[in-house]
Amino acid sequence: MRKCKNSRNDLVSQRNAELNMRICHPQSPAQCPRPGVAITDAGTITIGGTVVYPPFNYRWMVHISWFGKVHCGGTILSPRHILTAAHCFKNFPINFIKLVMLIKTGKHNVSATEPPLEQNRTIQSVTIHTAFNPITLDNDIAIITLDSPLQFNNHTHPINLPTDTFEDSRRKIKKGLCKVLGWGATDASSLGQMADVLNEVNINLQRKNCTLKLLSDREKVTDNMFCATALNPNKTYGSLRLDSCFGDSGGPLMCRQGDKWYQYGIVSWGPDSCGEQSGVYVKISNYLDWIKSEISTPGGWGNFSGYSPCSVACGGGTKSRVRVCTDPEPIGNGECPGYSFKTAGGNFVQVEDVECNTNACG
């Protein structure tokens, strides 16, 4: 920080200052967050359900473990928050959830321990949308708060959320650039058998009516949901479509825009048999304000800088020091108390002025 020079010798003018901020990166293996950036997108997007390669590529993917087995998926919103489906937790008291469920990141093979970057966290709380209907699965969205924060590293980073309405976003998304991830069932004839390794499937957002045979299913689709499916070019399973399935609940439907991935849906429900009709997903764009409000967490002040030189040599001036709200950074609508201003980059800054060189001149 340096004081702005001025011809007027008043304290108000002397408090004008120029602030330069330098980003310092955390010590390895920790990393600054890179939302929605995969390890690589060098390979072409191929049609058909496959094992994710390279392993850990989609670093925001979360394994919600139930006694060590696949329960649901989720995505990282912040070091403390996981986005998932509400139905993954319906009818379970929080004490039971804390006892039997564990949040794991940096995972590929759920049957193996994957050091050094795998992280396990216990659950502090689960916030289910107040309008969630466990029968129709409307508003099937929930946020998990972790007992301790995640460390962002090469296998753990957050996902981006959309900024536009769903219809505006859908018009921008090119066909073939969306995927669903999960450790759920991969064989329609053996729905109880979950995958050991993370799978991905290319899928398309449906622009017209959902491919659902039963009128009762079609009527169940609300404005908070959308459908997605794709024809399977692999004839191994006959006419089966590409689809999410049992065990994939809570995981992301995400689309690539440039070099970043954005999550547009949460795996919610579908007909009893996978691969024959549409899958139905939570429309995340309808919940952006709710998500931001629920995850909002105050930040903490970093250390003060040293004082700037005094603004004058005599006659009474000011010197200033500054600190930034980065320890930790605020989340959502959170802020640091008593901040002086907010930078264009969104950082909360506090400036402290003290008088100096109060001796008379001459």
Q: List residues with catalytic annotation.
A: 87, 140, 249
Whether 142 contacts 92, CB under 8 Å:
no
Residues in the chain, total: 362
- Give the integer Cα–Cα distance in Å for 122 and 125: 9
- Give the integer Cα–Cα distance in Å for 315 and 357: 6
- Give the integer Cα–Cα distance in Å for 50 and 52: 6
Strand partners, 261: 256
CA dihedral for 94, 99, 103, 107, sign (positive or negative): negative
Whether 230 contacts 271, CB under 8 Å:
no
- Give the integer Cα–Cα distance in Å for 182 and 196: 10
Whether 116 contacts 29, CB under 8 Å:
yes
- Give the integer Cα–Cα distance in Å for 175 and 171: 10
Q: Is 318 left (phi over 0), alpha (psi -120 to 50) or beta?
A: beta
SS3 64: strand
